[in-house]
Structure 1
């Protein structure tokens, strides 16, 4: 009997060490970098998504991917709650070269957004801009 009790305690301790009870929420979403080709596949698919350009207004006005919302990386924390109210939405981010989009993606993840995909810079985008 004592062995069964010790075995039960061991199983409980192991479960706690591995993150608690099953289905208890798991870890926060991680940063994900995808290629421009993968982003294009998402855009051409049937699932809804939000396309976000995190460059400055001047850069955006100089040419952007059709359908992109302008949300400069410097304003993410202030503007995202209003511009991106659904934290479960699939969000595709880009900037000029990829540095700002990575920073913006990480900020959004910290803010609780769950499906943030960074596809780098418009410099690597070969599917047309407006």
Structure 2
């Protein structure tokens, strides 16, 4: 009886330990727009990613932002804009819905420093 109990305890420990590691994998962080602005100023190599459509981008975007529409995100398109998987990437869209979807897609592609900060509609800083 002790042997069965020990085996069950070991199995629970192993399964619980493995499950916990997967929970944190493939995620992104949501940050405030103030924090995003601070990161843009402090980290020169941060990539500001606009995931709206081209027409939306052309009507106004955050200075220095690169366009990668949500519907085009795949391994190749992401790599063309974000060559290093550990790059700091700050993601936004119009209202915040697409930026969350894009951030999750990038995280699932293996990008490790994805920061989503909502939409340009609420951006209190400069737009070009």
Which one has a bigger Cα radius of gyration?
1
Give the length in aligned residue pairs: 124
Question: Over aligned residues, Cα RMSD in angstroms?
Answer: 2.4
Q: Deviations over 1:28-52 (max 9, x none)?
A: 1423211111101111214631110
Specify which of 37, 62, 82 is matched with residue 84 of structure 1.
82
The match for 1:60 is 57
Instruction: Give the secondary-structure state (helix, strand or coil) at the position aligned to 1:126.
Output: coil
Distance 1:107 1:124 in 2: 23
> With structure 1 as the length reference, what TM-score do the two structures score?
0.80
Specify which of 19, 22, 30 is matched with residue 33 of structure 1.
30
1:69 and 2:66 aligned: yes
1:50 and 2:36 aligned: no
Specify which of 101, 104, 117 is matched with residue 103 of structure 1.
101
Whose helix fraction is larger, Structure 1's or Structure 2's?
2
CA shift at 1:125, angstroms?
0.5
The match for 1:127 is 125
Give the unaligned 5+ runs of structure 2. Answer: none
Compared CA separation, residues 47 and 17, structure 1 to 2 (3 A): farther
Instruction: Give the secondary-structure state (helix, strand or coil) at the position aligned to 2:111.
Output: coil
